[in-house]
Amino acid sequence: MEPVSRKQITKTYFFKMALVPSNHTNSSSLYFSLMGIPGLEASHVWMGILFCSMYIIALLGNSMILLTVRLDQTLHEPMYYFLCMLAVIDLVMATSIVPKMLGIFWLNSVEIAFDACFTQMFFVHSATAAESGVLLAMAFDRYVAICYPLRYQAILTHQKVTQIGLAILLRAALVMTPVTWMMKHLPYCSSNVIAHSYCEHMAVVKLACADPRASSQYCVVGSTLIVGTDTAFISVSYGMILRAVLRLAKKEARLKAIGTCGAHLCVMLLYYVPGMASIYTQSFGQGVAHQTQVLLADLYLTLPPMLNPVIYSMRTKQKRVFKLFGQRKSLAEPSV
C-alpha cells in the first residue's frame, strides 16, 4: 500500500471539517487544523530544530534571571523587578506557541481544540501587550534613576512597582479579551484549516463565514494604540533622559548614563520593529509571500524571549545575573 502523504492528510481533514454544519462550529468538541509553515513543509523538521533551540535558550536565560534576582538580595531593586516581569512575559509568550509548533513540525500533531485555539490567541495577544507595558515601565525607571537619582527610592517603592505590574496585566487583559471573545463567537462553517503554525488572529479571521471586520479593525486599532501610546511615552522619557545627560559636566558620567539605557533601547527595537512589521504584514501585506508572513510572526514571538536575557547580560552590572552562578558553583566545588 502506498503511504499517505502529509498533504493528503491535510486535504482529507479539510474536507471532513468542511462538512460540519455552521450551527455547530462553536462547540468545544471541534478542532482546527494548523498547517505549520505553508510551502515549507519539507523543512518542518529543520524548522523544529531551530525553534526548539531558541525555546531552550529562552527558558534557560529567563529562568536564570528570575532565580538569580530571587537569590541575590542586592538585586531587589525596581530595575530588576521590571526585568523579572519581562522574563515572565517572555516565558509565557514563547511557551504559548513553541510546544505546539514542535508537535506540528515533528509529530504531525496538527489538531488544536476550538477552545484551546482561542486560549492560545488570548495568551499571545495579552503577552505582547503586557511586554509593551513593561518596556514603558522600564523606560520610566531609567528616567527617574537618571533625572531624579536622589528621589529614586522614594518614587519607585516596592508598592508602586507592584501597582505598575498589576496595571500592566490589567490593561493587557482588558484590551485583548474583546478580540478573543469576538473571534470565538464568529461562525466557522467552511474550512477549519489554519494556514499558520499557531492560532494567529488574522489567519483565523479568514476562516469566518460572517463579516469579521469588527474583530480585525479592533485588533489593528487596539495594537496600534497600545504600541503608539507606549512608544510615545518612551520617546518622551528618553528625550528627557538625553537632555539631562547632556547637562552633565563630565564625559565619563554622560557615557555611563547613556550606557545604562543601551540594553533597554536594544530590547525595544527588537520588540517593536518586528512586532509592528508582523501586524501590518498580516493585515495589509498582500504582496508578501505567505510563508514569509508566518515566519515573521513566529520569529516575533520567539526571538525576543531568546535574546532579551543575552542583551541585558551584556551590560556590566547585569552580568552579575550570570556571574553569580559561576561564583556559587566555585564555592560548591571542593578544593583540590
pLDDT tens digit string along 302-333? 999 998 888 877 654 444 544 444 454 444 44
**19, pLDDT greater than 80:** no
Joined grid coordinates for residue 206: 479568514
Residue 193, H or E segment: strand 193-194
Read off the pLDDT of each residue in 140-167 and give the average, rounded to a whole number. Answer: 92
Strands 193-194 and 31-34: parallel
Read off the pLDDT of each residue in 41-52 and give the average, rounded to a whole number. Answer: 92
**35, pLDDT greater than 50:** yes
Would you state the pLDDT for residue 257? 66
15 vs 272, higher pLDDT: 272
Read off the pLDDT of each residue in 207-219 and give the average, rounded to a whole number. Answer: 81
Instruction: Delimit the domains of the chain by residue range.
Output: 6-21+30-332
Report residue 3 CA to chain centroid gap: 39
Would you state the pLDDT for residue 121? 93
Q: Is 108 helix (H, G, I), strand (E, B) or coil?
A: coil
Would you state the pLDDT for residue 189? 78
Q: Among candidates 78, 84, 92, 50, which has minimal Cα distance to 64?
A: 84
**What ranges in the chain are assigned the alpha helix state H?**
6-18, 44-71, 78-107, 114-147, 152-155, 158-184, 201-205, 213-246, 251-284, 290-313, 320-332
Would you state the pLDDT for residue 1? 45
- The neighbouring-strand residues paired with 112 are 32
Mean pLDDT of the chain: 81
DSSP 11-60: HHHHHHHHTS-GGGTTSTT-EEEE-SSTT-GGGHHHHHHHHHHHHHHHHH
Q: Is 194 helix (H, G, I), strand (E, B) or coil?
A: strand
Q: What is the pLDDT of residues 76-116, one digit of tens each?
A: 899 899 999 999 999 999 999 999 999 999 999 999 999 99
Would you state the pLDDT for residue 261? 74
Its CATH class, for the domain covering 6-21+30-332, is mainly alpha
**Cβ burial 149-181 (10 Å sphere, 16+ → b, else e):** eeebeeebeeeebeebbeebbebbeebbeebbe
